[in-house]
């Protein structure tokens, strides 16, 4: 089964607006992590939320986790052109070692 | 801030050749990983490594792949006989603990092109 399916696939907003990206998964998880990837570059870790947590904040980022719906959302407030990137959710199941990534949301913030 | 580094940043090789991708994980981390991302596709897990042995591997990680931690700092991925379909971005990652509990930090990647 596929884990970590993000939507929308692409999102285009104006600078200053908020951006919300969603992630759904199919099996129970231990934690869920969000990463950012600038075009053709490495993956930058943004935030980790554990299965017993419902919400976490880090700067302009807010992540929620609803384990009953098997979904998570990433909110970026007051977006900037520099936030333009692909955003991926990745899940960890049980005591496994691996991250299972979704296909990502391409966010474009227009100045 | 400590970071994962990878060399080379780009590698072009002929089909059938061996390649070694190198990584220097964050110094006090204990768990090491390789992932790959074929252009336009998802990031895929290849292998994890702990206590000098493979702890988990995917079906992609067949006999053509091997990993090694030859000294206290480097972590390498070897592809013995490259195929066209091995062309991808390869990411190394490390974490201080099990992925189940800890953040994985990724390197900038090595872009491998097999001709």
A65 and A51 in contact (C-beta within 8 Å)? Answer: yes
Residue B67 has what pLDDT?
A: 97
Angle at A86 between CA B8 and CA B79, to 5 degrees: 30
List strands edge to edge, sheet with B65-68. B5-7, B19-24, B75-79, B65-68
Residue A94 has what pLDDT?
A: 73
Cβ within 8 Å, pair A33-B33: no
Q: Which residues contact B39 (CB under 8 A, 6 or more apart)?
A: B87, B88, B89
Q: A-B interface: how many C-beta pairs under 8 angstroms?
A: 66
- pLDDT of A3 above 70: no
Instruction: Return the residue in A87, A94, A99, A103 with the most chain B beta carbons within 10 A, the one to mutate for interface testing.
Output: A99
Residue A2 has what pLDDT?
A: 41
Tell me the torsion sign for CA atoms B32, B5, A104, B42.
negative
Q: Which residues of A touch B45 (CB under 8 A)?
A: 98-100
Residue B100 has what pLDDT?
A: 59
pLDDT digits (tens, 9 = 90+) for B60-82: 999 999 999 988 789 999 999 99
Residues of chain B where predicted confidence (pLDDT) is lower than 70: 98-101
Residue A42 has what pLDDT?
A: 86
Residue A101 has what pLDDT?
A: 93
Q: What is the largest CA-CA distance in chain A?
A: 43
The answer to which of A11-20, A86-95, A100-109 has the lowest mean pLDDT is A86-95
**Pairwise pLDDT comparison (A78 vs A103), residue with the higher score:** A78
**Pairwise pLDDT comparison (A1 vs B90), residue with the higher score:** B90
Q: What percent of chain A has pLDDT over 90?
A: 73
Query: Average pLDDT, whole number, for chain A?
Result: 90
- Nearest by CB to residue A95, choosing from B44, B100, B105, is B100
Cβ within 8 Å, pair A42-B106: yes
């Amino acid at each position: 089964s596929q884990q970590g399916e993000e939507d929308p696939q692409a999102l285009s907003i104006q600078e200053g607006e908020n951006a919300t990206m969603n992630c759904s998964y199919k099996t129970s998880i231990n934690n869920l992590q969000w990463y950012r990837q600038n075009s053709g570059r490495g993956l930058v870790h943004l935030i980790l939320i554990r299965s017993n947590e419902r919400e976490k904040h880090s700067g302009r980022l807010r992540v929620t986790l609803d384990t009953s719906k098997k979904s998570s959302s990433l909110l970026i407030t007051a977006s900037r052109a520099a936030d333009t990137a692909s955003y991926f959710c990745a899940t960890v199941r049980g005591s496994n070692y691996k991250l299972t990534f979704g296909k990502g949301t391409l966010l474009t913030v227009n100045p | 801030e400590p970071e994962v580094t990878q060399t080379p940043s780009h590698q072009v090789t002929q089909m059938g050749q061996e390649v070694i991708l190198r990584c220097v994980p964050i110094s006090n981390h204990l768990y090491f990983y390789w992932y790959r991302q074929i252009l336009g596709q998802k990031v895929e897990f290849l292998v994890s490594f702990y206590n000098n042995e493979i702890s988990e591997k995917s079906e992609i990680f067949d006999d053509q792949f091997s990993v090694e931690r030859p000294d206290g700092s480097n972590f390498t991925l070897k592809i013995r006989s490259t195929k066209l379909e091995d062309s991808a971005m390869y990411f190394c990652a490390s974490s201080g603990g099990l992925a189940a509990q800890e953040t994985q930090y990724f390197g900038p990647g090595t872009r491998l092109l097999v001709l």
